[in-house]
Each structure stands twice: as C-alpha cells, then as structure tokens.
Structure 1
Amino acid sequence: MSLLEISENVRLAREYALLGNYSSAVVCYQGVLEQIQKYMFSVRDSAVKQKWQQVWQEINEENKHVRDIMTTLESFQLETAPKQALKAVDPTVKCRCIILYRSSPCAVRRTPMPSRDGKGHGNRLSTGPRFQNRQSPRSTNGDRGKAQKGKDKKENASKQKEDKNKPEIPETEVKKFDRGGEDKDLIETLERDIISQNPNVKWDDIADLEDAKRLLKEAVVLPMWMPEFFKGIRRPWKGVLMVGPPGTGKTLLAKAVATECRTTFFNVSSSTLTSKYRGESEKLVRLLFEMARFYAPTTIFIDEIDSICSRRGTSEEHEASRRVKAELLVQMDGVGGTSENDPSKMVMVLAATNFPWDIDEALRRRLEKRIYIPLPSAKGRVELLKINLKELDLADDVDMDKIAEQMEGYSGADITNVCRDASLMAMRRRIEGLTPEEIRNISRDEMHMPTTMEDFQTALKKVSKSVSAADLEKYEKWIAEFGSC
C-alpha cells in the first residue's frame, strides 16, 4: 500500500459525492477510513500518528456529511432524484471497496479499467473523459482496427513519458504480523479483535471517576509523551485491574482508552481465547501477546477477566482451563521486559471484573494497579444527568440537583435507564388512547414535547437501583485489603 493510493481513493470518493452517487461515495469513504486506521498501526512517531488521526477525523466528517445528505433525500422521497444515484451501488465500485475492507492489513485500490466491450459501467461517471475512448468496431478489411491500434500505441507511449516525468512517491509498507504461514486461522481470529474503528468515547463523556482517568492516562498516555522519563523504576504499569459493581463505567473507561490514547487496542473476551481443540486455547493466548508486542505500543483489554483466570486448585477447575491460566500468567510476566527500556514497545493489560475475590492470586500480583470504580458521587450523578440529557429538551421545573439527590445508590447504568424512561413519558401521554392510524399521522412538531420534573419522579418509581448495600460492603472490604490506587 502507498500513500498515493490513499489519496486516489479519497479523490474517487469525493468524485462520486460531487456527481450525486452517494451510496458509492459512502462505500469508498469507509474503505479509505479502514485503510488509514490500518496504516496508523505501522507508524511509530507519535506526532505523525496524531496528524494521521486528524486526517482520519476530517475524512470521517466528510463521510458523515454524505450520509446526512442521503438521509435527507430519502426522507423527502424526491421523485426527481435518479434511483441509481441514491440507492444502487455500482458493482465495480462495490467490488473494489469490499477489497479495501477485507484485505489485511490494508487493501490496494487498483485503477478501474474499462470493460471489454468498451462501454461505461452504467453510472454517472461513465460520461466523463475516462470512459469516452471507445473502440471502434472492426471493419471487414480490418483497416479501421489497425488504425485504432496504432493510435493506442502512440497514446500509451506519450503516457509513459508523462509518468517518467512525474516525481516518484515512495511507497510505505504496512507492518503485518506473520509467522510464515503457521497458525493463519488463529491469527485472523485475533486480528478481528483489534479495534480499528474509533469507539468515539472521550474522557469528558465519563462523569466523575477522576482517579481512574488519571491512572489510565499515567499508564498509557504519559509514557508515549515522555519516553525519557518513564524508564527503569519509573517504567509504565504493565497491568491495571478495574474493580467495581456492574454499571459503574469500567468498560466505558476502556473505550475511552481506545479513543484517546491512539495505541493498538485488543478487545478480548473469554470466547476469543477458548477453542474446542486441545492445546489451541493456550496457543491463542501466546499469539495474542506476540501480536501485542509486534504492534506495540498496545493495550489488551480483557473484560470479565474472572471468567478466564479464576482461582486455581478448586474442585470445579478443568485441566484445559488450568493450562490457559498458566499460559496467561507466563505471558504477562514476559510483557514487562518489553516496556522497561522503551515505552514505544509498551504492552499494557487492562482488565475489568465484578468479582475480584474470584481472581487467582498470581494474576492479582501481575495486575500491579488495582483501582476501585465506585458508584457515582452526588457531583458525579449531576454530571451524568447533564451528559445523558444534553440532547433532550427539559421543562423549566426540572431540578437536576434534586433528582441526583433522590438517586443516591444508583449506578451509572441505573441513572441512564432513569433518563431514558423519563424521556419517553411525554410520548406515552401523547399517544394514549389513539388508534394505530392516528399514531402514524402525528407530526414531528406534535411529538416534540419537553420532559418535566413529574416525568423524572415517575421514572424513579419504576427504575430501582441494581447494587445492594451488602455488595458494596464486599467490594470495599476487598479493595481495602488488596487495592493499589
């Protein structure tokens, strides 16, 4: 893959958008975004990677604008708009852009060639100059065909001279993990767990949890910004464990790390590392960490880690499960040496669990930082309400401080459920007693009604908190004994 090909694909997407072939433009835009994400895995310079991230954001904005245009046109159901421009995707473009998605690590877009019969491809681009040179039919004596061939040779010779005069753009090869043909299927399985798309969760989208955000920035971001400082005894943490009740934002913090830190991010679950074949699960664990070191700096996020590495030696433990745990522990010990002298080779394991007391003692030692993600405080509950309700029209009588006070003991997920239920109250009142036909004929303006304080009071009666006081006491006892903030 070369940088010239990324530029060519962007130009093609914009050309389709300008000509009104929005569906084809969207497919091409998505392929380009995937190309850039894959290309960024090979970039080592953080400043260059940040510039590429800005380019990705700009192209993503263009993609969103094109999608908005499509949505608007479809909502108005314009009969004058050609159906092919709105819905039909050119088969040639579709095929070419699918290649952009599926090839690994990045696809090469080949220059589109005219079909054998010299006709265009059936879309609006076929009227352009690229498709106007059609072959003339061969006459009975073949003279016209010979003249055409001579003309083609002259054109090709002139094109070759022009290409020689053009400055050469050096091609950049994208680094790809390869073990010489061994374990290809397993490697492809793990590559699917690399998050290349932006989860679009920023630190500001997470209310409260300042200690957790500070620690994650210190463990992932700062070593990339100050590599000379984070050496020796100051080396980055190789393992961070997030402990807390369900719905407090542990997985959301991991998504923020993937969005903000611009490192290669592996999102791993128990299903990724398990196989029905003997010995293959351990091999998956080893390949995961080999790939992480190859694509370093890397963050491996293991959600619900207690399901993979529970306490060893129990009567319910299976032999295969014990081997997977042993391999995971061995590989985590091997990760530390990669980041001790060079933070750019850093591999950090980020884990989350709701049952910290079930985790094996050896894994607990390797997860050097163990932080408690508590229920939101009074200030955090107000921030959560503002984040959840920022796109909602509220009545003048809504008092967020009073609502937050009534939701003491609610988790972040519980607060979101309350806001969601309250936002639907106005709609429920409006359609009450109406027939399906009357409901379908309601205009948007009629459904646009602000949410009142009474709606929140009704929602609070319906949505109860999901974490008990006994559970909180259990978490606090564990973190007091084993916590390491």
Structure 2
Amino acid sequence: MADEPSLTRWSFQFGRKKAPEETDAAANGETARVVYNGNSSTVASNGSVNVKNKPELAIYEQYRSQDNGSSTHYNGVSSAGFDEKPQKNLLPAFESAEMRTLAESLSRDIIWGNPDVKWESIKGLENAKQLLKEAVVMPIKYPKYFTGLLSPWKGILLFGPPGTGKTMLAKAVATECKTTFFNISASSVVSKWRGDSEKLVKVLFELARHHAPSTIFLDEIDAIISQRGEGRSEHEASRRLKTELLIQMDGLTQADELVFVLAATNLPWELDAAMLRRFEKWILVPLPEPEARRAMFEELLPLPPEEKLPCDLLVERTEGYSGSDIRLVCKEAAMQPLRRLIAVLEEKQEAVPEDELPKVGPIRREDIEMALKNTRPSAHLHAHRYEKTRGILLFIWKLKEVIEIMENMKDKVDEWEDKVDEWNDTWQDKNEDGRNG
C-alpha cells in the first residue's frame, strides 16, 4: 500500500497519538532529524522543520500546534497535546496490524471539513430532503421517539438521471447532520491484493460504528455491487466483495449504533436485487420541476436592474434539463460578456496591467438566448426509464411486504398446528387412561 502523507503516519498506535521522536541533537539546540515510521525530516534548533513535501509539513505543523497547547478537533474530539489521550480514539482497536493499516487508509475518506452545502441551497427535491432529515437528523435530535417500530432508517438509495442533485444531497447531509461522514467510492474499497477488498468493507463498517453517529455515502454504487447471475463474467473477488457488503448491511438492522448508509446511482436497474432489498427507502431524484428551475435561474443569473430576467421563457425552454444542465446554461450566458471584453482587449497592441483591467459587462437577454441555443439537455431522453424503474421498485417493495405478511401468517399457522397436535395427543392419552381404568 502506498505510503501517503496522512495523520496516521504520525503514528496512531493503539488508538493513541504518539509524538515524532527527536534525536539528542535537537535537545542540544543542533540540527536534528524527526523520525516517523522509518522516515525522517530535518529539524532546526529553532523548531522549524525541513520536510520534503508540503503535505508532510502541514501534518507536522498540526502536531506542533497541539504540543504548544492549542486544541485541534477531529470528529468533535479535542486533543490538547501528544500525551493526552483523546476522549474517543480516532481508530478502534484491531486484532491485527493489517486491519489497522486498512483502517488508516479508509480514514482518509472521512470528511473532516465542511462541504458548506445547506438544505436551502438545494432547489426543489423537498421529498428527498425530508426523508434524509428523518433518517439522519431527527433520530439524533429526538432519540426518545425513534425506538422500536420507529427505529431510524438504516439505508436510503438515491437514484435518478445524472446531474439532478444526488451528490449535493449527500453534501448537505455531511454539512447539516453533524455526523461522521464517510465519502466512499469504488476506489476506496477495491484493492488489487487478494482478500483486501472484503476486509476493507468490514473495516469500513467497524469504523462507522466506532464513530457513530455516522453516515456512509456510497457514490455510484452500481460500480461496486452490480447484478449477479448467470451469463455474467464476474471475478471471484468481486463476488466476495458484494457478499461482504450485503452481510454488513444486514448487520446494521440489528445494531444499536446510529450508522446510516446513503447510496447514489444513475443506473438502478444494474443493482443486485439483494442489495435493493437492504435499502429501506428508494428515492427518485427527478429532473427539476418548473418552480425549481425558476429558483435556479434567479439565483445563478444576476442581471442589472434595468434588465428583467425572462423567467417564464427560461422555464419553458428548459423542460427536461437537469440542475447541472441549467448551471451550464447560466455559465454559457455569463461567458458572452466576457468574450466581448476579451475581444476588445486582444485588439489592443499593448498589454493592460492587471489592476487596470476593466470589469466584465452585465449579462443581456440576447446572451441568455445564445446560451439556450448552444446547450442541450443531457438526460431527458432517459427520464421515462427512471419513472418506470421507480414503479418496478415500488412493486418489489409491496411484494416484499406481502411476502413478510405471508411468512408471519405461516408462523402463526405452524404455531396453531403444533397446539392442535398437542391437544390431540392429550385427548388420546385421556381416552386411553379412561379405557384402562
């Protein structure tokens, strides 16, 4: 595994942070070497460090700030120095060094920063936002109510045309929900080494339980767990990876920790049926409605006061456009005045200093018309397929409920059959006792 700079390189050993070791020369005010994991960097007597690359320098400075008494927060955990044990270990205790190395690799996919995407910044998609709040926000805010039958959702699948806001919803979850957010793609859990892929999946869910409440976001999940079956060329390692993921998803329904799996895909019909069953909610993220398109244009297209935004025309002309397509239309419109300005500047023989460059002119109505002519929707031809898939998924969901009811009825029937057999045996015993008496 590549030796990449990370917080873990500065030695998280058994869940505790360990300071880089300094040689005796540093104590004497001479130039010394900081040793970490077998590598070293030069440290001068004034405390500065000569590290080969900037990521390692940034990591070293984080630890220096902690050693000086300042606090650095990771997942709500504050550490005031090297020797102080964190309130919650950044990594759980693993039995083997191999599993711990995999955990360190996956810990890089935790989003510590703030993606800065608010619910209000996502136009439309009210149903999806409400369900995500019910799944992640409300159980943490009101844990008293989410017990028993009302236990929180453990898995939600977002599906729909590309560019409709599935990843934006995931970023809003990371911003608003105050949970540890694991941003997982296929490259995070697929390894070229035999057996490592399923181990990565297992370690991922152990990390999520350790940092609970947490959210695991599986982007483009169809690349990880597509359909299995006859006639498909599938490697054994891929089958093992899928099996481990299914097992871990099953374990979430029986665990008490608040671990939530959010998945997104543009190809729901490619997903394995067993994985679909493990998602309790399937949410279609459709193309934006007229009201949502209007709100997007009003936010993205700043026009001068004398120019009125032709919202009705824009809403009518962008039927079948995704949110990403609308952003491209607005970007193309904003490029028109910049192109006019650059054409004027290029005609001049002398270069204009940067601080003397004129401002870009305002967007005009004809710029918007030109942008609409030059931009085409990317997903409208397949929108009906997602609606059809939604109907199929709802049918499967209802069928699953019917099967569960029938299974419960079968259990009741078996229970009554056992009681009837018991009564018959008792009756026969009494009759035999009466004849013998």
Q: Which residue among 158, 175, 179 is the counterpart of 2:94?
A: 179
Residues 96-245 of structure 1 correspond to what in structure 2 (within 5 A)?
Answer: 102=59, 109-111=66-68, 172-177=86-91, 178-180=93-95, 181-245=97-161
8 Å contact 2:341–2:360 — kept in the other structure? no
8 Å contact 1:395–1:451 — kept in the other structure? no
Cα deviation 1:64-90 (Å, max 9, x = unaligned):
xxxxxxxxxxxxxxxxxxxxxxxxxx9
- Report deviation, 1:446: 2.8
8 Å contact 1:269–1:302 — kept in the other structure? yes
Distance 1:387 1:107, change over 3 A: farther
Counterpart Cα distance in 2 of 1:389 and 1:372: 28
Q: Which residue among 374, 389, 403 is the counterpart of 1:462?
A: 374
Q: Which residue among 239, 242, 248 is the counterpart of 1:322?
A: 239
Counterpart Cα distance in 2 of 1:366 and 1:385: 38
Counterpart Cα distance in 2 of 1:107 and 1:372: 48
SS in 2 for 1:432: helix
Q: Which residue among 92, 112, 117 is the counterpart of 2:48?
A: 92
- Report deviation, 1:437: 5.2
TM-score (norm 1): 0.64
Q: Which residue of 1 aligns with 2:338?
A: 427
Counterpart Cα distance in 2 of 1:282 and 1:320: 8
SS in 2 for 1:311: coil
Counterpart Cα distance in 2 of 1:330 and 1:175: 26
What amino acid is the match of 2:370? T
Q: Which residue of 2 aligns with 1:337?
A: 254
Residues 281-320 of structure 1 correspond to what in structure 2 (within 5 A)?
Answer: 281-314=197-230, 315-320=232-237
Q: Which residue among 379, 384, 399 is the counterpart of 2:310?
A: 399
SS in 1 for 2:191: coil
Counterpart Cα distance in 2 of 1:247 and 1:240: 19
SS in 1 for 2:254: helix
Q: Which residue of 2 aligns with 1:477?
A: 388
Distance 1:284 1:240, change over 3 A: same
Pairwise CA RMSD of aligned residues? Answer: 3.3
Cα deviation 1:405-447 (Å, max 9, x = unaligned):
2111110000000101111111111222634755645766732
Structure 1 residue ranges without an equivalent (≥5)? 1-89, 113-169, 340-344
Q: Which residue of 2 aligns with 1:412?
A: 323
Counterpart Cα distance in 2 of 1:304 and 1:371: 15
Distance 1:448 1:227, change over 3 A: same
8 Å contact 1:308–1:325 — kept in the other structure? yes
What amino acid is the match of 2:133? K
What amino acid is the match of 2:343? E
Structure with higher strand content: 2
The aligned length equals 337
SS in 2 for 1:242: strand
SS in 1 for 2:262: strand
Counterpart Cα distance in 2 of 1:438 and 1:220: 59
Counterpart Cα distance in 1 of 2:64 and 2:202: 27
8 Å contact 1:223–1:236 — kept in the other structure? yes
What amino acid is the match of 1:431? I
- Report deviation, 1:319: 1.2
1:373 maps onto 2:285 in alignment = yes
Q: Which residue of 2 aligns with 1:362?
A: 274
Q: Which residue among 158, 180, 197 is the counterpart of 1:264?
A: 180
8 Å contact 2:182–2:215 — kept in the other structure? yes
Distance 1:306 1:385, change over 3 A: same
SS in 2 for 1:207: coil
Counterpart Cα distance in 2 of 1:217 and 1:394: 38
What amino acid is the match of 1:176? L
Counterpart Cα distance in 2 of 1:369 and 1:317: 28
Counterpart Cα distance in 2 of 1:211 and 1:221: 15
- Report deviation, 1:393: 5.0
Q: Which residue of 1 aligns with 2:33?
A: none
8 Å contact 2:227–2:272 — kept in the other structure? yes
Distance 1:284 1:481, change over 3 A: same
SS in 2 for 1:176: coil
Q: Which residue of 1 aligns with 2:192?
A: 276
Counterpart Cα distance in 2 of 1:182 and 1:278: 13
- Report deviation, 1:481: 1.8
What amino acid is the match of 1:461? K
- Report deviation, 1:404: 2.1
Distance 1:182 1:316, change over 3 A: closer
What amino acid is the match of 2:331? R
Counterpart Cα distance in 2 of 1:288 and 1:446: 52
Counterpart Cα distance in 2 of 1:334 and 1:437: 70
- Report deviation, 1:186: 1.1
Distance 1:207 1:438, change over 3 A: farther
Structure with higher helix content: 1
Structure 2 residue ranges without an equivalent (≥5)? 1-45, 70-83, 399-437
8 Å contact 2:99–2:199 — kept in the other structure? no
8 Å contact 1:378–1:404 — kept in the other structure? yes
Counterpart Cα distance in 1 of 2:275 and 2:68: 52
What amino acid is the match of 1:257? V
8 Å contact 2:333–2:367 — kept in the other structure? yes
8 Å contact 2:250–2:278 — kept in the other structure? yes
8 Å contact 2:49–2:57 — kept in the other structure? no
SS in 2 for 1:258: helix
Cα deviation 1:117-139 (Å, max 9, x = unaligned):
xxxxxxxxxxxxxxxxxxxxxxx
